[in-house]
C-alpha cells in the first residue's frame, strides 16, 4: 500500500503543530513527492538481512586518524565538482546521502518513490527548524559544516545573517569560502577542531550555533567543545545528531540501529550530558525530539536545542 507523509505527520515528527509551518515549509511539503511503501513480511526480512550483512562487513571506526583524510578527500571532491559545475548547489550534496535507499520512518522500513526522499525530508525539517530557532540571530556558526548545505539554506532564509562554517579539514573551509564568493553571500569558512576548540573564536551577542551530524564524529570526546560553547554563550544551540539513548532496544528495529551506532563508535552521551547541565541549571533545554526518521542503518536526526542560563 502506498502512503504519503502529510503535514500532520511532519508536525508529529518534528514535535510541533501544523499551524507552526511557514509558507515556505508548506510549499515544500506540497510540491515534493513524499509517497512511500511500507515494507512488510518477506520484504522486511530481506531488509533486516541486508542491514545485518552490512554491519558484518562494515569496518568504519569513527574518530580514527584515517577518517580525517577521508573527510578531507570527500569534501575536496565536492569542491572540485562545485567549481567544475559552475557553482551548482547540486555539487554540495554529500555522497553519504544515497539516492533511492530504503529508509526508516516511524518504526518501519519504507521504500520511497522519490529517490531524494531523505534529503527532501531533511530540507523540510531544516526549513522549519532554522525558521523556528534562528530567526533573529545576527550570525550563525555551524561547527563541522562539511559542504555548507545547512549554511546555504540559512543564507536563503536569512539573507542578512552573517554565516560562519567551521570544519577541521581545509577542503570544507575552502568549499564554504567558494560558495560565499560565488553567491555573493555573507559566508566565511574557518578551520576549527571541535576536539581542541580555539577559544579565540568568539560569537557576537545573540548568535546561533549549529551542529548537524558533527558531534557524532567526535566518538564521545565532546566535553571540551561543550565547555567552549558554555564559555562563548550563544543565544541558542541546535544539535541534530544520531542519539543512541532514544532507541528502545527491546524492539528489533531500534536494536539494529543502536548496534550499528555503537559498532561504528558514533558519539554517545550527549543528550544525558545536556540533561545533567539542565539539572545543574547551567542550560535550558528548549527541545529534544527523536524524528522517527533516518537512513537504512540508523536515525541521524535527533534534535536537541538549548541555551545557556
Ligand X SMILES: C[S@@+](CC[C@H](N)C(=O)[O-])C[C@H]1O[C@@H](n2cnc3c(N)ncnc32)[C@H](O)[C@@H]1O
Cβ atoms of 224 and 231 closer than 8 Å: no
The site map against ligand X for 171-190 (x = CB under 6 A) is -x------------------
Part in contact with ligand X (CB under 6 A); list of ranges 20-28, 161-169, 201-209, 287-295: 161-169
| By the rule CB under 6 A, 78 interacts with ligand X | no
| By the rule CB under 6 A, 144 interacts with ligand X | yes
Q: Which residue in the set 10, 117, 158, 212 belongs to the binding site for ligand X (CB under 6 A)?
A: 212
Q: Which residue in the set 116, 195, 273, 287 belongs to the binding site for ligand X (CB under 6 A)?
A: 195
Question: Would you say 47 or 264 has its CB closer to ligand X?
Answer: 264
Smallest gap, in angstroms, from Cβ of residue 116 to ligand X? 15
Q: Which residue in the set 112, 189, 208, 213 belongs to the binding site for ligand X (CB under 6 A)?
A: 213
Smallest gap, in angstroms, from Cβ of residue 223 to ligand X? 13
258-263-267-270 Cα dihedral, nearest 10 degrees: 30
Looking at residues 84 to 113 of the shown chain, list those that interact with ligand X (rule: CB under 6 A): 94
Strand partners, 288: 304
Shortest CA distance to 68 belongs to which of 203, 193, 231?
A: 193
| By the rule CB under 6 A, 298 interacts with ligand X | no
DSSP 139: E
Cβ atoms of 145 and 151 closer than 8 Å: yes
Cβ atoms of 153 and 127 closer than 8 Å: yes
Q: Which residue in the set 25, 145, 175, 296 belongs to the binding site for ligand X (CB under 6 A)?
A: 145
Question: Would you say 13 or 47 has its CB closer to ligand X?
Answer: 13
Sheet of 162-167, strand order: 187-191, 162-167, 139-143, 208-212, 236-241, 302-308, 283-289
Distance CA 63, CA 264 (A): 9
Angle between helices 23-31 and 7-14 (to 10 degrees): 120
Shortest CA distance to 104 belongs to which of 48, 32, 149, 155?
A: 48
| By the rule CB under 6 A, 167 interacts with ligand X | yes
| By the rule CB under 6 A, 193 interacts with ligand X | yes
Question: Would you say 47 or 133 has its CB closer to ligand X?
Answer: 133
Distance CA 218, CA 242 (A): 12
Which DSSP string corresponds to 89-119? Answer: GGGGS-TTS-TT--EEETTEEEEESSTTHHH
Q: Which residue in the set 14, 121, 168, 266 belongs to the binding site for ligand X (CB under 6 A)?
A: 168
Question: Would you say 89 or 195 has its CB closer to ligand X?
Answer: 195
Smallest gap, in angstroms, from Cβ of residue 72 to ligand X? 8
**Positions in the binding site for ligand X (CB under 6 A):** 71, 94, 144-146, 149-150, 167-169, 172, 192-195, 212-214, 217-218
Amino acid at each position: 500500500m502506498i502512503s504519503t507523509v502529510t503535514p500532520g505527520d511532519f508536525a508529529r515528527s518534528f514535535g510541533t503543530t501544523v499551524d507552526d509551518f511557514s509558507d515556505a515549509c508548506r510549499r515544500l511539503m506540497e510540491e515534493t513527492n513524499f509517497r512511500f511503501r511500507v515494507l512488510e513480511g518477506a520484504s522486511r526480512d530481506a531488509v533486516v538481512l541486508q542491514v545485518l550483512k552490512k554491519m558484518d562487513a562494515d569496518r568504519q571506526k569513527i574518530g580514527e586518524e584515517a577518517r580525517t583524510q577521508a573527510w578531507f578527500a570527500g569534501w575536496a571532491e565536492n569542491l572540485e565538482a562545485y567549481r567544475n559545475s559552475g557553482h551548482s548547489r547540486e555539487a554540495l550534496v554529500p555522497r553519504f546521502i544515497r539516492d533511492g535507499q530504503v529508509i526508516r520512518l516511524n518504526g518501519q522500513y519504507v521504500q520511497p518513490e522519490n529517490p531524494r526522499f531523505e534529503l527532501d525530508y531533511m530540507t523540510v525539517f531544516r526549513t522549519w527548524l532554522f525558521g523556528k530557532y534562528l530567526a533573529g540571530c545576527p550570525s550563525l556558526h555551524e561547527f563541522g559544516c562539511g559542504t555548507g548545505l545547512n549554511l546555504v539554506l540559512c543564507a536563503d532564509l536569512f539573507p542578512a545573517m552573517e554565516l560562519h562554517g567551521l570544519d577541521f579539514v581545509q577542503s570544507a573551509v575552502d568549499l564554504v569560502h567558494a560558495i560565499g564568493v560565488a553567491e555573493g553571500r555573507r559566508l566565511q569558512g574557518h578551520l576549527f577542531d571541535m576536539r581542541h576548540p580555539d577559544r579565540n573564536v568568539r560569537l557576537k551577542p545573540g548568535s546561533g550555533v549549529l551542529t548537524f551530524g558533527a558531534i557524532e564524529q567526535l566518538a564521545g570526546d565532546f566535553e571540551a567543545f561543550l565547555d567552549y560553547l558554555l564559555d562563548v554563550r550563544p543565544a541558542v544551540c541546535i544539535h541534530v545528531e544520531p542519539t543512541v539513548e532514544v532507541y528502545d532496544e527491546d524492539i528489533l528495529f531500534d536494536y539494529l540501529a543502536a548496534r550499528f551506532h555503537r559498532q561504528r563508535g558514533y558519539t554517545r552521551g550527549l543528550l544525558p550530558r545536556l540533561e545533567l547541565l539542565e539539572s545543574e541549571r547551567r542550560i535550558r533545554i528548549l527541545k529534544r525530539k527523536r524524528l522517527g526518521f533516518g537512513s537504512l542503518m540508523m536515525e541521524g536526526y535527533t534534535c536537541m536545542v538549548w541555551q545557556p542560563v
